[in-house]
Amino acid sequence: MNIGVIGTGLMGSPMALRLLSAGHRVWVYNRTPDRLKPLELAGAKVSATPLALIQNVEAVIFMVTNGEAVRSLLEDMGVSECPSPLNHKAIIQMGTIAPAESQQLSQMVAQAGGTYLEAPVLGSIPEAKNGKLIIMAGAENEAYQRWQPLLQCLGTTLYYVGPVGSAATLKLTMNQLIGSLTAAFAQSLGLVQAAGIDVDIFMAVLRQSALYAPTFDKKLHRMQTRQFADPNFPTKHLLKDMGLFVSAAKAAGLSPFPAESVRQLVEQAVQAGFGDDDYAALFNIVSPLPKPE
């Protein structure tokens, strides 16, 4: 099929390559055009504008920073025009945005005669490259069935969650766990090191317990070496997602704590200059290096 990909950053670029390898014809657009050269060399067609892209494809995958970016790009495509270039086209929103934002975008697309699906993912760059993302879909069942084969190019595990907004909510619950588990692990690791306990013994006990999560091992080396460059998921994006979770929890009548305390911790990491680093940099906040005397 003719598929567009808008947003070719850490996740969007390997997803576009995955679609190319599956035999799809792929058009790409990014507000930073320099990021498109490797995809162009791989066979993707570069679009100068979002409008030019939508005119050549059947569906567009969005993997951009936030809901406001999606809305702006849809406006650039002519979502409000009559007739709209989005008529009979599918918009597949795969980033992490607020449930209410996703529902509003769905209404915009529907009014333009298009089809909207939210399909946020779990997984990072390796899973995107290998087509092994976990995909949570929120859409009308007919739309999900229509576009399920395309999503299967990107993920080995698909879950149809329900109507638009439900998958966005589920994704926020997962990213809240990313932040909270990482913060908790960082604090325990910090105390282990401060007490002079062998980290190998700490990890051996942890791995044999019901408390263990694989993410702990994934972040252990970064925390021990305090090397946070080349992120799979930048701290600034986790800050955005923790904020979205807190807002969604409040809207549902839930207490925002402890997620709010973790959000504040992530905010401190961003303010300390770790916004573009891997979110394992939370370790530098809960276990700061001793100040030189």
List residues with catalytic annotation: 171
Query: Is the link from the previous residue into 258 a cis peptide, with omega within 30 of 0?
Result: yes
Closest CA to 109 of 63, 75, 69: 75
Under 8 Å between Cβ of 122 and 116: no
CA angle 112–114–118, rounded 5-degree value: 120
What's the token pair of residue 279? 């979110």
CA angle 204–175–172, rounded 5-degree value: 150
Q: Number of helices and strands (H, E) in the chain?
A: 13, 9
Closest CA to 38 of 58, 56, 12: 12
